[in-house]
Structure 1
Amino acid sequence: MKLATFALCVAATPLAAQNRIDEIRPDAPELAPHGSLPVGVQTMEFTDPGRIDVVNATEAEAPTYDRTLVAEVWYPAAEGTEAGGTYTALLRDGVTEVSLEGIAARDAAPAEGSYPLVLISHGYPGNRFLLSHLGENLASKGYVVASLDHPDSTYDDQTAFPSTLANRPVDQAFAVDALQALEGPVGAIIDDDRVGVVGYSMGGYGALIYAGGGLSQAAVDRREPAAFNAPGDLLARNLAGSESHAALADEAVRAVVAIGPWGRNRDFWDAEGLAGVSKPLMIVAGSVDDVSEYPAMRSIFEETTGTDRLLLTFENANHNAAAPMPAPAESYEVSEALGRKTFDHYGDAVWDTVRMNNVLAHFVTAFMDTHVKGEADKAAFLDVAVEEAAEGVVDRAEDGSENAGHTYWPGFPDRTAVGLRLERRAAGE
């Protein structure tokens, strides 16, 4: 009996706490594996002087301060760069330090050439490492990828929610501008005219605003609960039809991926505001998400009529669908700071996280390559014959070629797309 109990304890906590973020399963779809380019990574800071201090603002006064964003920046590295490196990150409790391992080489020399920019924006709370698996993956395929720490919204500085509501799209627009103006070896390889944005949860909220989805008048006027607004008229900066919201627009942004985007469940948008989204859009969602709420995310999909868009659904996944990195081994233990395990910030009760990360990498690669790089052949991976993957039919000849009746999702090995749904709407629909 003691041996059985010991075995259960061992199984509950990973023995090798390597915390790898770069795993690719054997059944991963075609575009999920890393590309051929070595990857470098640097930590950078970008400061926006004179930003309104939402946390300390009142109805009568809006002080300003210098708002500094820390970014982890991945990029194609010079030929011969040796793969591998570690990151020191904080767990969800904001106290526990963990070591993560991936393929990027710290401060490696950049490759020659010019590469599109992808910005990654975490949720509330989160940090720049939460989607580091995707950052490394895209960099290996020819992108410069910057993942931000959003002040007032990270694990160790989480504070009043109105700061995130007001600042998130402004942070994203400022960071893109700063990266487009970046000097030095990494700045020299960024293609300023080709940009993609990936946002998770509140990052998705910000990305939709940045992409043209201005907030509703009802959201701006709301005063209760206080957590859902900002003092004075600070949230009005993101109001649909306002000059300040229009000023966020950047023609260089070619595509947006919103993973579990929060906000429609609290009427931060209406159909008119969401119709202003003008960038090709992919929404990724779990069908039982009870944070951003799946029906609300479906509303975003239906109401963003100003653009072509996709909705990728992980059946029976919750709010952690696809975005978070695999749960660090240390998250399996109870955190003294939170009084509970932090595993639930990363994991899902139904889906394997590595599996979801691989599926996300496949579709984000196809989406960004299509719309940001302009690689028309990658669009085939987004053009599925049946929305419900489980309804796809495998019909192949003896030599492996597809017969006319083959409707299984492109890029997915036979039997591996079950549990996924991909829907499409064209602009105007």
Structure 2
Amino acid sequence: MKHYIIATAAVALGAQGALAENRIDTQLPNAPELAGYGDLTVGVRTLEMVNPDQIDILAIDPQAEKPAEWPRYDRPLTVEMWYPAAEGAEGDTSLQAYLRDGTTEVTLVGKAHRDAEPAAGEEAYPLVLISHGYPGNRFLLSHLAENLASKGYVVASIDHTDSTYRTQAAFGSTLVNRSLDQLFVLEQMAQKAADGGEFAGLYDAGNTGLVGYSMGGYGAVITAGGGVTEASVGYGWGGPHGTLGIHQAGSETHEDLFDDRIKTAVAFGPWGMNTGFWDAEGLAGVKIPMLFIAGSQDDTSLYEKGVRAIWENVSGVETALLTYINAGHNAGAPMPAPEESYYFNEDKGFNISEHYTDPVWNTARMNNIAQHFVTAWLDEHLKGDAEAGTYLDLVENSNDGTWSMNEDGTEKEDHSYWKGFPEGTAKGLVYEVKTPE
């Protein structure tokens, strides 16, 4: 009886979070093939960067006259870096992160070892930048960052100042700075790989992918070459006094922004089409292949008039759109909701867990599917892996795929099931491909 009481108490404590493990590395039994972790040991560390002499958007009064000179400041950015580590490396596998409420600090648990020695590879790994939403933080897509690092990528996930849970400020700063942050971090990472330090030769910043979620996706579209509309530059609630004009389609500043070290981009639920930031002319400027990922019931960026419309209007490069049917804005990107987030916050007016979850889909399931597709996309475009591309050669609607196998495990001629998905698991998804016009 005593043993039973102790066990019951332990379960009760777990239900209250005392024994909770907020894992970011969950692999469900029905996860598609490429969602699985790779063979490499993973390290993680925190980098502090400062972008000097930037326009201080928060110091500009949109109601006052336009200043003769823009106020300027040195813009701090914190970056979390996941990377292949030396075999046998050990270290703390927990991450300390803040919740959406901006005040509650929680512990996340994964596979990456804190401050582990980097691997000594024979050839440099591709670099991947991750850019969170508004608000968000550098850990929001940590499940994807760690997963990619185990497969031979170095991942730099950015805390965007004025846009994190703890620094959330005027939206204009996010609109103007998001793409600038991405490119500054790219340059900083390039310097770290070339300066003869411990990261020398670990990764190739000249072979970089960009992953953005929501406002990070908005920034990814700009970074990829998509220019915003003239109307959006003039929005009173946007960049004050036309500061967003540096990203306007056709402007010299926007044309000069593009960095050919970035070879491809993935945008989860990119924002902006729903409020007039994009049009066909501006999106025609996208210069690199892009994978778009969306929920068909996205009520933040919208779907038909939002993410899907962005995808339809990118005309000059190869693109694809993965849709989670009936999922919302959180389709695929956010990590599973930490247990401490399941409470109603009076100041925010909602249950904090809603920032991470979906009303229909299981978050870990969405994460596993995203890990599978992003791996296939990046392996094909950054590693030149032709086999990875076969995982993207699919019938459009997953529900239409036919499972037809011989007894020896080989496919019959009429087999059309989504490659990498176990039998019966490719449901509720659509994958569409568009080639350049």
Query: TM-score if structure 1 supplies the norm length?
Result: 0.94
Structure 1 runs not aligned, ≥5 long: 1-8
Query: Residues 23 and 84 from structure 1, CA distance in 2 versus in 1: closer, same or farther, beyond 3 angstroms?
Result: farther
Contact 1:75/1:186 (<8 A) preserved: no
- The whole-number CA distance in structure 2 between the counterparts of 1:149 and 1:389 is 35
Q: Does 1:67 align with 2:75?
A: yes
| Match runs of 1:26-425 below 5 Å | 26-58=29-61, 59-61=65-67, 62-82=70-90, 85-113=93-121, 114-182=124-192, 183=195, 184-223=197-236, 226=237, 229-295=238-304, 296-335=306-345, 337-338=347-348, 340-384=350-394, 386-425=395-434
- The whole-number CA distance in structure 1 between the counterparts of 2:261 and 2:345 is 43
SS at match of 1:46: strand
Give the aligned residue type for 1:210: T
Query: Residues 232 and 340 from structure 1, CA distance in 2 versus in 1: closer, same or farther, beyond 3 angstroms?
Result: closer
Q: What residue number does 1:4 align with? A: none
Contact 2:233/2:244 (<8 A) preserved: yes
- The whole-number CA distance in structure 1 between the counterparts of 2:114 and 2:235 is 46
- The whole-number CA distance in structure 2 between the counterparts of 1:86 and 1:10 is 20
Q: 1:84 Cα shift?
A: 5.7
Q: 1:14 Cα shift?
A: 6.1
Deviations 1:164-213 (A, max 9, x none): 01110111111111111114212541212100000000000000000000
SS at match of 2:175: helix
Contact 1:255/1:279 (<8 A) preserved: yes
Contact 2:91/2:115 (<8 A) preserved: no
Contact 2:316/2:436 (<8 A) preserved: yes
Give the aligned residue type for 1:25: L
Give the aligned residue type for 1:278: K
Give the aligned residue type for 2:315: T
Compare 133-142 and 339-348 and name the one that shifted more. Answer: 339-348
Q: What residue number does 2:23 align with? A: 20
SS at match of 1:349: coil
Q: 1:266 Cα shift?
A: 0.6
SS at match of 1:186: coil
Q: 1:13 Cα shift?
A: 6.2
Compare 340-349 and 355-364 and name the one that shifted more. Answer: 340-349
Contact 2:91/2:114 (<8 A) preserved: no
SS at match of 1:42: strand
Aligned-residue RMSD, C-alpha: 1.7
Give the aligned residue type for 1:133: H
- The whole-number CA distance in structure 2 between the counterparts of 1:310 and 1:13 is 42
Give the aligned residue type for 2:27: I
Give the aligned residue type for 1:60: K
Q: 1:289 Cα shift?
A: 0.3
Contact 1:193/1:252 (<8 A) preserved: yes
- The whole-number CA distance in structure 1 between the counterparts of 2:296 and 2:16 is 28
Q: 1:155 Cα shift?
A: 0.3
Contact 1:312/1:420 (<8 A) preserved: yes
Contact 1:30/1:412 (<8 A) preserved: yes
Structure 2 runs not aligned, ≥5 long: 1-11
Query: Residues 40 and 346 from structure 1, CA distance in 2 versus in 1: closer, same or farther, beyond 3 angstroms?
Result: same
- The whole-number CA distance in structure 1 between the counterparts of 2:296 and 2:18 is 32
Q: 1:341 Cα shift?
A: 2.1
Q: 1:340 Cα shift?
A: 3.9
- The whole-number CA distance in structure 1 between the counterparts of 2:20 and 2:208 is 35
- The whole-number CA distance in structure 1 between the counterparts of 2:377 and 2:198 is 27
Deviations 1:376-402 (A, max 9, x none): 111001110x11100100111111110
Q: 1:253 Cα shift?
A: 0.8
- The whole-number CA distance in structure 2 between the counterparts of 1:240 and 1:13 is 51
Q: 1:16 Cα shift?
A: 4.1
Q: 1:333 Cα shift?
A: 2.3
Query: Residues 423 and 71 from structure 1, CA distance in 2 versus in 1: closer, same or farther, beyond 3 angstroms?
Result: same
Equivalent residue pairs, number: 416
Contact 1:54/1:230 (<8 A) preserved: yes
Q: What residue number does 1:5 align with? A: none
Query: Residues 193 and 64 from structure 1, CA distance in 2 versus in 1: closer, same or farther, beyond 3 angstroms?
Result: same
SS at match of 2:109: strand
Query: Residues 13 and 362 from structure 1, CA distance in 2 versus in 1: closer, same or farther, beyond 3 angstroms?
Result: farther
SS at match of 2:33: coil
Give the aligned residue type for 1:245: H
Query: TM-score if structure 2 supplies the norm length?
Result: 0.92
- The whole-number CA distance in structure 2 between the counterparts of 1:153 and 1:267 is 21
